[in-house]
Structure formats: structure tokens, C-alpha cells
Chain A
Amino acid sequence: MSSTTKLLLETSQLNEMIAHCLHALPFEGCGLLVGDPISATVTRIVPTDNVEKSAKIYSVDPLAHLKADRAAEAEGLAVIGVFHSHTHTDPYPSPTDIAQAPDPTWHYVLVSLRSEVASTRSYQIVDGVVIEEPIEIHDVSN
């Protein structure tokens, strides 16, 4: 697991995730978080297709994942997590999310669109145990 227990995001990155998830409706939206795994600082959001085209499940486009991973590594960064939306449920990992969580060091961001105002939470999922972590906004230019 990373050495921190919070995820550092910029407001624009948070908004980008929400906008991508809204754009993906009626399906779940998804994408990757690229950044520094030690400080859990997100450098950029990589929106991807949900190849499942489903309102209940998602799969990140594998080729987009490959390209994001290569680009991140070339910059000394890494894919440090994934975000996806729940279109009609709370922003909490489902049993499917927990069972399929690919990496215990990753950050799992959930964007709930069930209410008029999107709700976003971040978690770590380690051996099936869900640990919520705060999202800290660190806008550099503001």
C-alpha cells in the first residue's frame, strides 16, 4: 500500500472525472489516475472508454490502459488508480468492485451520479477490505 492515506487532486481533475462520467451516461464512465504513487498525487486524469457499454459494470479500455501505463512510466510516474461512476447508487465500492480490484496500492475513486450533484469518494481496497481515504484538493495556481 502507498505510504499515504489521502489522495491529492486538483479541482480541475475532479471536475474532469465528473464531466467524463456525465458524458458517459447512461453507461458507467471510467478512467485512470496517473501520478506519483508515493505521495498519491494525481498528475493527470486519463478518461477511457467503458468497453462494456453498461450502466452496471465497466472495463477500462485495455489499449488505453497500455498507452497510459507506458506514458506514465516514461515520465517516472505510474498509473496509481482508477475512477468510475455509479449511475444510480452511492459512491461506495460494490462487491464487484471489491472482487475485481486489481492492485492493493491503487486508489479507487467512485463518482456517484444518483443525485443532482455528483458525489465523489476515494478508497483503497486491500485483500477485500475497503478503506476510505480523504480526497485533498491542492490547487497549485489558486
Chain B
Amino acid sequence: MSVELRLPTLLRPAVNGSATVTIEGETVGEVLRTLVAEHPGLSGQVLTDDGSLHRFVNVYLNDDDVRYLDQLDTKLAPGDTISILPAVAGGAN
């Protein structure tokens, strides 16, 4: 099935400036791997070299952080939206 994937401003130049793209996939991981394959400029920014989720991004399926679901194995349903946002962190340490 195809799902809508929303991208943060920082990653949009790699997809011709689009805020959203539509991608086929049955799981979150399948969609993200296809995203990176179709847009190589995103390589290393969403998934690590070993294929896991990069720690500097948060990925949501609708309103849920996929790290609290089945991570990249989270299954998709028709009408789902995946959102990628940068993890916002830092501190005096």
C-alpha cells in the first residue's frame, strides 16, 4: 500500500523541496528504505549504515513514536501517515 511520509525542512532539499512524499510499503522500515533508495541524498540521515533508525531523528506513525511500537517492523495500514522530525536535544553537559 502507499502511505504519506512527511519530512522536516532540513530533509526536503533531498526530495526536490517537497514536504510530503508518497511511498509504497508494508512496514515503516520498508517505506524508509525505499525513501532512501529513491532519494540517495537522504542516505545516512534517516537510517544508519546498518539499517537501523538514526538516533538523531524521531519517526512517528500517525501520533506514535515508532520506537515505542515495533520500530522499523511496525506494520502499516491504509491511510497511515509517517512523519520524520529531528530529535531536539542538547544541554550544558
Query: Hey, which bits of chain A sit against chain B, CB under 8 A?
Result: 28, 30, 32, 37, 52, 54-60, 62-63, 65-66, 69, 73, 78, 82, 84, 86-89, 93-94, 96-97, 100-105
Contacts and interface: CB of A to CB of B under 8 A. Distances in A.
Contacts, number: 83
Nearest to A54: B91
B30 to A, nearest CB: 22
A75 B12 CA distance: 19
Contact of A100 (B10, B56, B63, B85): B56
B85 A94 contact: no
Given A63-B65, A65-B58, A66-B63, A102 B91 contact: no
Contacts of A94: 90-93
Question: Which of B83, B86, B91 has the largest number of chain A CB atoms within 10 A?
Answer: B91
A63 B89 CA distance: 14
B93 A102 contact: no
Given A84-B91, A86-B92, A94-B92, A103 B65 contact: no
Contacts of B56: 100, 102
Contacts of B93: 54, 56-57, 94, 96
Interface string B38-69: 00000000000000000010101001010000
A103 B9 contact: yes
Nearest to A103: B10
B90 A58 contact: yes
A78 B89 contact: no
21 contacts: A28-B92, A56-B93, A58-B89, A59-B87, A62-B60, A65-B58, A65-B85, A65-B88, A66-B83, A69-B83, A69-B85, A73-B19, A86-B92, A87-B92, A88-B92, A96-B90, A96-B92, A102-B56, A102-B86, A103-B8, A103-B10
